[in-house]
Amino acid sequence: MKTKSSENNAITKAIGGKEGLVALVVLAVLLLVVLPLFLSVFRLNLTGKYLSYAFVAVGLVMCWGYGGILSLGQGLFFGLGGYSMAMFLKLEASDPESTKIQTTPGIPDFMDWNQVTELPTFWIPFKSLPATLALVVVLPIVFSYLLSVFYFRGRVGPVVFAILTQSMVACLWYVIVGNQGYFGGINGMTDLKTLAGWDIRTEEAQRTLYFVCVGLLLVSILVCRWILATRLGRVLVAQRDKEERVRFSGYNISSFRIFIFCVAAVISSIGGALFTLQVGFMSPNLIGVVPSIDMVIFAAVGGRLSLYGAVYGTLLVTLAKSLFSESYPNLWMFFYGSLFIVIVILLPKGLAGLYQDYLRPWGAKLIDFRKRRVPVQKETVTSQEGKA
């Protein structure tokens, strides 16, 4: 039961005090002002592509960091969103006019190549934009619910669940690759051109999409912070740390787990849809087993308990990857592999942990020095420490 004041406080809660506000403003200024000012549209678009992975990382912070459920299959949900959007764009790009050289005009080219002569029934909803947007949200909820409800109710352990999610994403990969006529197979869906008549390949569109992407990312982060600030968030952390105790206190743990898994899935799916819009294609190799684990490392580098950190982590790792992997492919793999090990052993809290343990005390000291007598607010430090 919510009181009126707590509802009014939703936004304040989501922002989370002075420190949360600073973190939000810093990230927003960086993404909305600094980067668009200094980067060319090409690089901005690239950043937007990386930021769509940040959605997945944010989702992972929720379900892995706070819920204790490691999912190695977030690519599945990223792919659901990405493919939903790609199917809509593909249908729009294959109007009878531009596909008249095909045996069956009006269906996507890969269907025509694979002797599919009629649009499959499950493609029909993707003819309308509102339906597609709804499916980007609904599909991951349905899938994540179905794929987790039995296992959480059956008290599958976190490790086994991680393995299951990995097999799930492998399964999706085989579904796409095996059904070339329905999903474009290993080549994915290419030649996506317009969104409801709006050409997404122009610089103007890419710039706009970047801002949409950043906006949605910040909103997702705030929603997640709000969830964590409610009592639901408390139970979530509690069941992660003391499963039995929460269970004996009368909570139905599995429904909390299903909930947070769905939240992560929806956020990832939105990221996937934005990825397709900004990059202009979708392929199974972007969402397979290996990319899904890459997404986990984004969250781990940023700090599995920090929603803002997840964004920085994603940007850093993807940036490093694009800088080094082409010029030094061999060295990069050594470095990338070691990154997993180093983060886990030396920096389990990721970059956010570095900030919390070193930068903030130092900054606090600095402020303390300036203000002389005003003591550092101890409250903020201790309240965060409990989570580590």
Residues that bind other proteins (CB under 8 A): 64, 70, 72, 147, 150-151, 154-160, 162-164, 166-168, 170-171, 174-175, 177-179, 289-290, 293, 296-297, 300, 330, 333-334, 336-341, 343-345, 348
Judged by beta carbon, residue 15 or residue 63, the one nearer other proteins is: 63
Q: How far is the CB of 90 from other proteins (least distance, A)?
A: 21
Residues linked to residue 282 through DSSP beta bridges, in sequence order: 189
- Count CA atoms closer than 13 A to 272's CA, side-chain side: 36
Q: How far is the CB of 157 from other proteins (least distance, A)?
A: 8
Judged by beta carbon, residue 199 or residue 241, the one nearer other proteins is: 241
Contacts of 69 (CB under 8 A, 6+ apart): 63, 158, 161, 257, 260, 261
Judged by beta carbon, residue 1 or residue 345, the one nearer other proteins is: 345
Contacts of 259 (CB under 8 A, 6+ apart): 232
Judged by beta carbon, residue 345 or residue 374, the one nearer other proteins is: 345
Judged by beta carbon, residue 53 or residue 226, the one nearer other proteins is: 53
Q: How far is the CB of 61 from other proteins (least distance, A)?
A: 14
Judged by beta carbon, residue 50 or residue 151, the one nearer other proteins is: 151
Judged by beta carbon, residue 108 or residue 284, the one nearer other proteins is: 284
Q: How far is the CB of 295 from other proteins (least distance, A)?
A: 12
Q: How far is the CB of 281 from other proteins (least distance, A)?
A: 21
Q: How far is the CB of 374 from other proteins (least distance, A)?
A: 39
Tell me how far apart the alpha carbons of residues 194 and 172 are, in angstroms, rounded to a whole number.
26
Q: How far is the CB of 224 from other proteins (least distance, A)?
A: 20
Judged by beta carbon, residue 96 or residue 178, the one nearer other proteins is: 178
Q: How far is the CB of 214 from other proteins (least distance, A)?
A: 28
Asked if 192 and 91 count as a contact pair (C-beta separation under 8 A), the reply is no
